[in-house]
Amino acid sequence: MKKVLILSSSPRRGGNSDTLCEEFMRGAVDSGHAGEIKGNPALQRAYEMGKQA
């Protein structure tokens, strides 16, 4: 078993990049591997602040 780290640089939660990361993780888990998805909280905060402006 291998450990997989998926880095998401998308500022939008639930966007295309998040979906791609989730599907990649699902494939890794289905193949018997473990892992986690890490996002960038600073990008998410900046995106939310931009939506409010």
The DSSP-derived string for 1-53 is --EEEEE---SSTTSHHHHHHHHHHHHHHHTT-EEEEE--HHHHHHHHHHHH-
Cα(13)–Cα(50) distance, integer angstroms: 14
pLDDT of 14 reads 82
Q: How does residue 25 score in pLDDT terms, banded at 50, 70 and 90?
A: very high
Neighbours of 50 (CB within 10 A): 9
Name 38's bridge partners: 7
Domain that residue 39 falls in = 3-52
Q: How does residue 3 score in pLDDT terms, banded at 50, 70 and 90?
A: very high
Q: How does residue 4 score in pLDDT terms, banded at 50, 70 and 90?
A: very high
pLDDT of 29 reads 95
pTM comes to 0.69
Q: How many domains does the chain have?
A: 1
pLDDT of 53 reads 58
